[in-house]
Each structure stands twice: as C-alpha cells, then as structure tokens.
Structure 1
Amino acid sequence: MSMSRPSRDRAPAAGRAAPPRPAAVPAPPSGTAGSGVLPLVAAVAGGAALALESVVNGRLGEHAGSVSAAVWSNTLSLCVAAVAALFLPRLGPAFGALRAALRARSLRPWHCLGGVAGGSMVLTQALTAAALGPAAYTLALVAGQTLCAVAVDHLGLGPGGRRRATARRLAGGLLAVCAVAFPVLAAPDAGRALALAALPFLAGCALSWQMAVNGRVDESCGHHPYPAVLLSFAAGTALMVAALAVLAVSTGLPRPRSGPLWHFTGGLLGCVVVLTAVLTVRRIGVLAAGLGMISGQVLGSLLLGPLLGEPPAHQGLVAFGAVLLIGASVLAAPTGPRPAPVAAGGPRRRGDGGADGGN
C-alpha cells in the first residue's frame, strides 16, 4: 500500500465526495505483526501506573480528605501537562484543528468532557482504594471497564469504528463482573465492601467512555495527543474544584494531616495514565487498549497487595478473580481479521481497523 498522498488533481470517484482531512501521522501497515506490540506494552505499563495511582490517592485521601486529595491530584496533573505543553511543537495547529472539527460538528462538545470521568475516578480512588485494598479496588474498576468497553465499541464512540457486541464479548464482560464478586463478597464486612466496590465499578465504566472520547479528540487534532490530555485534566480539575466548594460550604474542609511525600505524587501518575490511553487507543482501539491497561492494573495490584500487608488468604481470592478476569478479557477481545486497507484517497483510516458491524 503506497503511503504517498493522492494528487489533488485527481477527480473523486462518482458519488463519493472527498472530505477534508486533518494532517495525520501515517499509520503503520495494517496487519503487520509488530504494529500493535508496542502500543499493547504501553497500555500494560499505563495500567500498572493506574494501580499505583489508586494506592497513592487512597493514602492521600486518608489524611487529607477524599475530595481534597482528588483536587490536588487533578490540579497537579493539569499543571504538569500545561508546563510540558509549552515545549511541544504543533500544539497551536492541533487546537486549530480541534476548533474546526467542533465548528464542522464532526466532533461534539461532549467529546471534550472525558476529564469529568477521569476526575470521578480519582475521587473514587481517594474514597475507596484504601478501604478495599489495591487488588479488590482494581478488580472492581476493571470489571466496569471491561463491560462498558464492549458497549462503547458497539456504539462506535471511539476512533476505531463500530464493533458489534457479540454474545461472546458480552459473556466476557459478564465474566469480568463475576471476577470481582469473589474477593468482595468474601470480605469480613461483605455488605460494606460491596457498596464501596460499586463506586470503582462505575468509575471503570466511565474510564472506557473517557478513553473513547479522548481518542476522538486526538483524531480530530491530527493525532496530536496533548489537546485531549489538557482537556481531560482541565475538565477533571473543574469538577473537583466545584465539589470542593460545595463541601466547604456545607460541612467545611477537613484539616489535612502530614504524610509522606509519595502520597502527593498521584497527579504525576495520572499524566502517565491519560497520555498512555490517548496514544494507545489511536493505534489499537478502545477495547484492546482497555484490555492492555486491565492486564497492567491486575498485575500491579497483585504485586502491591503483599507490599501493603494484605493477608495471604485474601490474596488467594484476588488471584482467583484475576484468573477469571484474564478469561473475561480473552472472551471480550475483538476477533476476526483486520479489514483490508482501502485505496489511497478512500475513506478515513479507522484507528482500530474495525469496520461497522465487524467482529
């Protein structure tokens, strides 16, 4: 397949208009064995960073208050991303392409609100991660992430096109829900643990939606990842500041206690997670990137559990849930060959290679 651009003098085929396209980084040849390996490895690393972020923000929430911890984490992420943006090339044209996409209505304003989901996830970390433990929290988060990723791909919300929610993939999503039930229901206070686990489960659902809409923003900006990253942290910070203002008026702010310096590093990890998600979704799609992050989260949480003093019996149940989750990921993963590449000048490239109704 030739990567050269078609001549501007070539007339479009009958009945097919040639829509304007933002300048994009050329895609690797479809179907090559190594084309998805690095994005998948990056997604696994991003998932491990997310597991560590839940521990860090959970510990910060214990001595600073959950809302205050979420505000700090989101604000730090926004500041780091904003400073880094000063040194990036082509950021102005990328935001110009974003405004053009919004004016042309190929991108909707709600696509720019993925950070609301990210801010909500950080809040659940501060609220529940310390009480549930890193492993149980992660299983609840990724169960929602897996189940909702099937729906997100079915609706075609991400940049990879629509992928049907087949019975096999729905079974994988439901098995992911079962995977979290074992360690949560086996907890000493099962009722309280189940209520707490509902929050990260819903946050996992929101995380899949965030990955999809951030991927759409990334695509509209000519595959420049930073507008999606900056918008995510800006929306998340605005949500958390509003929540902090409501808390201050209603009950007053908690008085934070001092803690180790590493308790305040969640925002740095958040930058890694969001940037990884944006970069990997464009290459391997919402579901595949989500499954890679799920693998990293599970592995990271299993390693963190013993380091944080979780009892071995509980770790055994979590490991069993992790095995079920791996099976759920295999079932929920897209199947079938990638579609054949279109001729030069044809329809826009789909980041995941999934045609409507495929898989």
Structure 2
Amino acid sequence: MTLPSTPRHRPPGTGPVPSPRPPAVRPACPPGAARSGALPLAGAVAGGAALALESVVNGRLGERTGAMAAAAWSNTLSLCVVAAAACFLTGPRPAFAALSTALRSRALRPWHCLGGLAGGGMVLTQALTAATLGPASFSLALVSGQTLCGVAMDHLGLGPGAPRRATGRRLAGGLLAVGAVALPVLAAADAGRTLALAVLPFLAGCALSWQMAVNGRVDEAAGHPYPAVLLSFAAGTALTVAAVTVAAAFSQLPRLGSGPLWHYGGGLLGCAVVLSAVLTVRRIGVLAAGLAMISGQVLGALVLGPLTGQPPAHQGAAVAGGALLIGAVVLAAPAGARLRSGAGRGN
C-alpha cells in the first residue's frame, strides 16, 4: 500500500509550493511545412499561366473554325480526357457516393454542380475575343472580373469556408482592378471596339469566380477532386455543344478543318487549369490559390504578348496595367491573410 506523500516543510515567508508546469508546447510545424505550401502555390501559378496560353490556343482555333466550334472542341476534348482518367483512379466511386449523400441531405444544392457553365462560357469568350484583344488585354479583363466579383463571392459566402466581409479596402481593390484594364484597352488602335470586346472576358472573369466557389463546395462535399472536375467539363461541354447546335440551325455546320496541331490542344490546357484550381484550393485556401492563379495569368499573358506579335506600345500599356492589377489584388486580399500550409481542407 502506498502512503500519500506529505508536503515538505518550507521556511516561513517563502510562499506556497509551486505546482510543476508542463513545458510550453509550440505549434507543431512539421519538417518541410514551407515546402508543402510552396508546391501548391507553384501549381496555382502554373495553372494561371496555362489559362493565359489556353486563351491564345482557343483564339487561334476560333479564327479558322469559328468561336463556337473551337469552344465545343476544347470542352469535348477536356471531358474525354477527364472521363478516361477514371479508369486509372480508385477514389471516384466513393467520392460520387459522398456527393450524392450531400445532395440528398441538401448540404449541397444541385446548382453547385453547374460551375462548368461558367467555364464553357469562358472558353466561348476566349475563342471570340482573345485573338483580337491579344493575350495581355484578354487576361487583364478576365482577371479584373475575377478580382471584383471574387470580393462579392467571399462576402456572400458562396464558396467553402466562412464568409469574408467586403470592406472598403477590398472594394477599392476590385475597382482598381477594373481600372487596370483601361490602359491596354485604350492603347489599342481601335479603342472603342476593343473596349466593347473587353466586356466579354470581364463578365467571363466574374463567372469564373462563381465557378471556383461552387467547385470548391463540390470538392469539399465529395472529399475528392474528381467529381468537381468531371461535372465542370460535363456542364461546359453541354453548353458549348448546345451553342453549336443552335448556330448550325441558322447557318452551315462549322468544320474544324486543317491547321497546326497545337491549335487543337486547348482542351488539354483546360484540364490542367481546372485540376490545378481544385487541388490548390484544397491545400492553401481560396484566397492564396486565387492570387497565385492571377499572378500566373498576368505573367503568362505578358510573356505571350511579344510572341504573338503584339505591338510594343500595346505591350507597354499591358505591363503598366499588370502592375496596377497586382496592387488591386493586394488591396482586395483580406488584411492579415496568410498562407495556411498543410491545413488540410482549409478554404
């Protein structure tokens, strides 16, 4: 039998016996945590650059075959590639079961699965306007719409995670993003026509913010990126094929024709863009992934400008617009936002 221990005698005035304190525990920071955040960040930048290149590819194809045919081909190719990928993956079946459970319980609504409509509209816009605007002006208009409407998506809480209030600072950033488009647009030879064309990618950028939000909700409910990617391209393909069908009713059915093989690779780039967005949002959050993709879009567009024969004066204005846009993104970001490396599904 063990007797209870008695406190030792302490001289008067020395105070009570201090209880032993456990050593201070610092937040765990596993080795390579910085690298675990840097890799998704680099993937998001690469996805943004792929989106800038996709606009060039689909724009060139649209010049020869028509915007609707180019968009339908790009989305159909993306859908075929993603559908074929199911043969090599093991997670899609339980992911779709989890998604079905979320829909039945109304934790997720059916319209959350229609984000691909925005993607299909964006591909149509690429084929209609990218060749005329040039990659820099197109990407700046697209990104300005993403930034401005991204503030609204955060405020309304349409994406995964808690809502982020639309402060005056963030609204100022969104408005500055819109102003950043004016420099390259007004530098164009036909400013009036260019401005009218820039409205389309701006609206497409607004739609992309909504697509990113709802795809994040689908990915969160399914626990796997595959359903969000597949449903995104399925909805986009349905939209573009319907557009081609309607157009064919009033004119001749468009033909893909001949041309360089790389003109037909927009769908592959589209797979990379959507997959990078879904994967990086899961790991570093909507904010960090969105800012990284925007950086990739702007940098990619500025590099592609001279390669596609953009006039030097127009390219200089695009560089100035890109600098303004970076400032707009900094303003639009919530104060104190930080990268959450290895935070699981923190969105």
**Normalised by the shorter chain, which TM-score bucket?**
0.7 to 0.9
Q: Please provide the CA RMSD for this pair.
A: 1.9
- Are residue 328 (structure 1) and residue 328 (structure 2) matched? yes
Give the distance between the partners of 2:156 and 2:287, measured in 1 at CA.
Answer: 12
Give, in angstroms, the shift of residue 33 of structure 1.
4.6
Q: Which residue in the other structure is 2:237 paired with?
A: 237
- Are residue 78 (structure 1) and residue 79 (structure 2) matched? yes
Give the distance between the partners of 1:274 and 1:250, measured in 2 at CA.
Answer: 33
Aligned counterparts, 1:1-359, within 5 A: 33-34=34-35, 36-222=37-223, 224-336=224-336, 351-352=346-347
Deviations 1:121-145 (A, max 9, x none): 0000000000100111000000001
Question: Does the CA contact (< 8 Å) of 1:208 and 1:286 recur in 2?
Answer: no
Give the distance between the partners of 2:67 and 2:339, measured in 1 at CA.
Answer: 46
Give, in angstroms, the shift of residue 296 of structure 1.
0.2
Structure exhibiting the larger radius of gyration computed from Cα positions = 2
TM-score by length of 2: 0.87
Higher helix share: 2
Q: 1:244 to 1:37 in 2, by over 3 A?
A: same
Give, in angstroms, the shift of residue 337 of structure 1.
5.9
Question: Does the CA contact (< 8 Å) of 1:149 and 1:286 recur in 2?
Answer: no
Deviations 1:254-284 (A, max 9, x none): 3444210000000000000000111112223
Give, in angstroms, the shift of residue 34 of structure 1.
4.8
Tell me the amino acid that sits aligned with residue 304 of structure 1. Answer: L
Q: 1:64 to 1:339 in 2, by over 3 A?
A: closer
Give the distance between the partners of 1:275 and 1:88, measured in 2 at CA.
Answer: 14
Question: Does the CA contact (< 8 Å) of 2:75 and 2:237 recur in 1?
Answer: yes
Give, in angstroms, the shift of residue 339 of structure 1.
12
Q: Which ranges of structure 1 fall in alignment gaps of 5 or more residues?
A: 1-27, 341-348, 353-359
Give the distance between the partners of 1:253 and 1:60, measured in 2 at CA.
Answer: 16
Q: SS at the partner of 1:157?
A: coil
Give, in angstroms, the shift of residue 287 of structure 1.
3.1
Q: 1:243 to 1:350 in 2, by over 3 A?
A: same
Question: Does the CA contact (< 8 Å) of 1:229 and 1:274 recur in 2?
Answer: yes
Give the distance between the partners of 2:147 and 2:299, measured in 1 at CA.
Answer: 16
Question: Does the CA contact (< 8 Å) of 2:37 and 2:339 recur in 1?
Answer: no
Q: SS at the partner of 1:164?
A: coil
Q: SS at the partner of 2:334?
A: coil
Q: 1:300 to 1:251 in 2, by over 3 A?
A: same
Give, in angstroms, the shift of residue 336 of structure 1.
2.3
Question: Does the CA contact (< 8 Å) of 1:153 and 1:286 recur in 2?
Answer: no
Give the distance between the partners of 1:40 and 1:161, measured in 2 at CA.
Answer: 21
Tell me the amino acid that sits aligned with residue 207 of structure 2. Answer: A
Give the distance between the partners of 1:282 and 1:52, measured in 2 at CA.
Answer: 24
Deviations 1:135-159 (A, max 9, x none): 1100000000111111111111111
Tell me the amino acid that sits aligned with residue 328 of structure 2. Answer: A
TM-score by length of 1: 0.84
Give the distance between the partners of 2:93 and 2:34, measured in 1 at CA.
Answer: 35
Q: Which residue in the other structure is 1:344 paired with?
A: none
Q: 1:339 to 1:229 in 2, by over 3 A?
A: closer
Tell me the amino acid that sits aligned with residue 346 of structure 2. Answer: G
Give the distance between the partners of 1:51 and 1:337, measured in 2 at CA.
Answer: 26
Aligned-residue identity in percent: 76
Q: SS at the partner of 1:78?
A: helix
Tell me the amino acid that sits aligned with residue 122 of structure 2. Answer: M
Q: SS at the partner of 2:115?
A: helix
